[in-house]
Amino acid sequence: MRFHFKTSYDHDIRLFPDWWTFFVYGALLLVMVALPFLMDSFFLSEVTNVLIWAVAGLGLMLLTGTTGQVSLGHSAFMALGCYTCALLMNAGMSFIPAFILSGVITGLVGALIAVPVLRLHGVYLAIATLALAIITADIIVILRPWTGGVNGMFAPEIFIFGAEINRWVNPEYWYYMTLAIVVIITLIYVNLLRSPLGRAFAAVRDSEVSAQAMGIDVARTKTIAFGLSCGITGLGGALMGFFAGAFNNETFTFLLAIQLLMMIVVGGMGFIHGAFLGAIVIAFLPQGLSIVTDNVRFLNIPGLEFGVFGAVLIFFIVFEPMGLYGRWLKVRTWFELFPFARRDMFRRQKSYLKTERVR
């Protein structure tokens, strides 16, 4: 069991509360940096893929996990991020500014859309955002002069400080670029969580009434969360499209948005770690499945992948609502407290009836 001896407030504010955590995350980062020397390019691109999913997932996690607003429409913002970045680069901008700007633009558009959409709650919000995802494909086709419509468009070549970043020529560059982006976004996420805004997000998620009574403008906070979330997911979309090399109206379908949601549920709602664990599952599940279907003839059914995705999602919602990371926390607590862990330690107290009345 680890004890935290806190000697100043800074312990709680710091990125790493103690040396142990610093060491663990430092070691993880070192391993990640060393990965290209340990793996062949096939696996490296698989890991790159995981990181790209993680970027998109972090975006949705901020909205759904941290702020408590569900979205089934985030594929729309992945598309927006991707096309914006490509169009800006075709207009002559270089990758880094185009990439950043595409995140900002997607975020702003997201915030704009959020104003009407976030007035809805629960299932209505889900349906409204789902509609957003579904019309995206049509919008891409309608905007054919810019997007290439059904024929799609090729991702422009990426140059950073004169070096070409090409997945087929130098996959390790692609990997490092993605890793850097993931680290920066994760840091932003963590910074928000240790600041007033991040706490306001969680407050809105847990009790809107109480958040208001603490001086939080609920509508504004949700809008900012939606904007930030869309911006980050847009960056994920840009990476995904550029990594694929080409994209069209069928690249960012609503199925992608649902996969994204499944990813954060499986990983662990509300935890940054959850986005990464979920990304690993999402990225490797198809691989795992294809190995199975290659060997077991009768399982070779088209559409099996989405069936399995759905089954996994239902399994987690019913049996492991806190996701993989939640499971890990429980296991860790069990060992830390051994033999004093109680069975109902993580059970939510149901004695408080949530009512709409504020009395």
Ligand X SMILES: Nc1ncnc2c1ncn2[C@@H]1O[C@H](COP(=O)(O)OP(=O)(O)OP(=O)(O)O)[C@@H](O)[C@H]1O
Positions touching other proteins (CB under 8 A) are 9-10, 12-13, 188, 191-192, 194-200, 202-203, 205-207, 209-218, 224, 270, 345-346, 348-349, 351-353, 355, 358-359
Task: Tell which phi-psi region holds residue 152, choosing left (phi > 0), alpha (psi between -120 and 50) or beta.
Answer: left
Q: Could you identify the residue written with the tokens 């909205």?
A: 63
| The entry of ligand X, Mg ion, other proteins, none that residue 300 binds, CB within 5 to 8 Å by partner kind | none
Q: Which of 21, 26, 57, 32 is nearest to 332 (CA)?
A: 21
Minimum CB distance to other proteins smaller for 87 or for 218: 218
DSSP reduced 3-state for 288: helix
- Token pair in block for residue 312: 């996994």
Minimum CB distance to other proteins smaller for 202 or for 308: 202
- Asked if 2 is part of the footprint of ligand X (rule: CB under 6 A), the reply reads no
| The entry of Mg ion, other proteins, ligand X, none that residue 287 binds, CB within 5 to 8 Å by partner kind | none
Q: Which of 44, 75, 33 is nearest to 57 (CA)?
A: 75
Minimum CB distance to ligand X smaller for 2 or for 357: 357
Closest approach, Cβ 358 to Mg ion, in A, equals 10
Closest approach, Cβ 9 to other proteins, in A, equals 4
Q: What is the largest CA-CA distance in the chain?
A: 66
Closest approach, Cβ 207 to Mg ion, in A, equals 17
Minimum CB distance to Mg ion smaller for 213 or for 311: 213
Beta bridge partners of 163: 160
Do 50 and 280 touch, CB atoms closer than 8 A?
yes
Closest approach, Cβ 218 to Mg ion, in A, equals 23
Query: Per this entry, what is the length of the chain?
Result: 359
List the x/- string, 329-358, binding to ligand X by CB under 6 A: ----------------------------x-
Minimum CB distance to ligand X smaller for 348 or for 359: 359
Closest approach, Cβ 188 to other proteins, in A, equals 5
Closest approach, Cβ 102 to other proteins, in A, equals 17
DSSP annotation of 347: P
Minimum CB distance to Mg ion smaller for 347 or for 357: 357
Alpha helices, DSSP H only, in 143-195?
A: 144-147, 171-193
Please state, in angstroms and rounded to a whole number, the distance separating the CA atoms of residues 269 and 64: 8
Its sign, for the CA torsion 302, 264, 78, 58, is: negative
Which residues sit at the interface with Mg ion, rule CB under 5 A? 359
Which residues sit at the interface with ligand X, rule CB under 6 A? 357, 359
